[in-house]
Structure 1
Amino acid sequence: MTRHGKNCTAGAVYTYHEKKKDTAASGYGTQNIRLSRDAVKDFDCCCLSLQPCHDPVVTPDGYLYEREAILEYILHQKREIARQMKAYEKQRGARREEQKQLQRAAAQDQARGFLEKEAAISASPLSRPSGAVVTLECVEKLVRKDMVDPVNGEKLTERDIIVLQRGGTGFAGSGVKLQAEKSRPVMQA
């Protein structure tokens, strides 16, 4: 005796008729159906409306159409294209507006960052009491003598006096101890 599995469709007891019935019920597999006369359009029917033609038009390939059905189809397509164009323009406008809002938000963020950096910068002057800039000669002759601010008369400490440095480029240096040298080849013995 042979062993039987849980699915006994593999054996000879599963008939052709049962297979056809299961195939039709499940919707899988190859299915052949003979088309009846109702499924085939008549010779004088339009390929779009499947109704008999009153004002027929024939294509070079031999397809028969009703002129009114073609015009209705063209008008329908124009309306559909116009509807789609409106939707596209609306979507495009929304996208443009979204881009503008993003740009505005970025500009506001940039401005906010700038203002935060500006607020972080110390507003108090570097020369502590008044912020006045005087020459080094004036500091040596007048200010260091009494340690009083010449602008507002407040008492100064040594820490309040800041000596400004001379700026310059890398080429010119600071300009304080500027000396030009010219190098020439030297003969060696």
Structure 2
Amino acid sequence: MTRHGKNCTAGAVYTYHEKKKDTAASGYGTQSIRLGKDAIKDFDCCCLSLQPCQDPVVTYMGTCMKNRPFWNTYFTRRWKLNVTCVFCPPMRQAYEKQKQAQKNDSQLESKSEERERVERFKTKENSIVSKPINPFTSGQAKDGEAQRAGEGSASSSTAGSSAAPATSSQALPSFWIPSLTPEAKPTLLKKPSKVVSCPMSGRPIKMNELITVRFTPLDPSLDRVALLTRQDRYVCAVTKDTLGNSVPCAVLRPSGAVVTQECVEKLIRKDMMDPVTGDKLSDRDIIPLQRGGTGFAGSGVRLAAKEARPVMQV
């Protein structure tokens, strides 16, 4: 243990840091770690490859992805995979079998509830006394019934104790495997679907919903390689403010221009007109772009990563 190594065994408190250190060394329990800025992508990088995008596109959730050829390949492969899953007999049969098992379980539960209701009704009805009780014979009958019940319980307990070691060794789960713990439930199969979903959010997405993003470079004279080596690469299309992970941005659907959220609130929302193309805008045409991580908790990015590991059952 940690305290033994420090020659401090008289403490009555198992501190938080000692618990975390022992958890990391033992290999059991869920391990969590806080991510830094170097582990999170920038605002202009692809969510899948974490690299700067060339001809990027954005979804209606504000997720920045790679160029359209990548999406064409992605949609084609996902469509083939989904069609294969839908028309694959083994997967369809397994899903139908699971669905039938769930239906049978629900029917058994409803029948058991109905049976319990009937038993409670019978018990209440039998408890009603319809004839007077003889005080001289009722006590003897009760004593005889209690004696017989005691003998029956003793015999059943001996039989159960003899059978307990055989069944406990078979039903005892492996506590180091999460799927064999008493609280574990079988993994349910999902219904095969032909709908293509976003790889980041999991929501359904269509090809015509992808919007081409046009970033305004800070220095138009630089080529793409020289631009990517800089920390500040792009600016707002209207105010020319430098864009970064700490600056909230938005994409305008008609033109694909990237502007700051401050520009949207102070300038664009007054006329609801695209400053690049002059088209009318609606609230649906202004898509907030997901920002990158700055390393601070208030950046809007989840900075905690967790890894599920085997747990010890107490």
Shorter-normalised TM range: 0.3 to 0.5
Q: TM-score under structure 1 normalisation? A: 0.34
The higher-RCO structure (CA 8 Å, 6+ apart) is 2
Q: TM-score, normalised by structure 2?
A: 0.22
Structure label with greater radius of gyration: 1
Structure with the larger strand share: 2
